């Protein structure tokens, strides 16, 4: 398993998207989940601030942890 990241699934204009939370990289899923539980309020606050600026009107559906390699990076064509 590679680096684990926190991500959020959002919906905006009936389109579902996934964004990576730019906070930490974790060595495994359990470390990420522990961080999510410990810093839940901070993560939700900063995510809301980001979405209010960049994705106005979006709704967070889920916040979780996953291996970074499972996400397609914008601009890579992957």
Asked if 36 and 7 count as a contact pair (C-beta separation under 8 A), the reply is: no
- pLDDT number for residue 69: 84
Task: Give the pLDDT of residue 49.
Answer: 93
pTM flag (> 0.75): yes
Over residues 7-17, the mean pLDDT reads 94
Burial 68-78 (b: 16+ CB within 10 A, else e): eeeeeeeeeee
Taking 80 as the threshold, does the pLDDT of residue 2 lie above it?
A: no
Confidence (pLDDT) at 72 = 65
User: Cα angle at 12 between 37 and 74, to 5 degrees?
Assistant: 80
Over residues 22-66, the pLDDT tens digits come to 777 899 999 999 999 999 999 999 999 999 998 889 999 999 999
| First-last CA distance in the chain | 18
């Amino acid at each position: 398993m590679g680096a684990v990241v926190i991500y959020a699934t959002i919906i905006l204009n009936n389109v579902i998207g996934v964004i990576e939370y730019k906070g930490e990289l974790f060595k495994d899923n359990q470390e990420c989940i522990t961080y999510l539980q410990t810093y839940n309020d901070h993560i939700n606050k900063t995510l809301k601030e980001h979405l209010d600026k960049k994705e106005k009107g979006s709704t967070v559906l889920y916040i979780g942890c996953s291996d970074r390699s499972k996400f397609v990076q914008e601009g890579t064509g992957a």
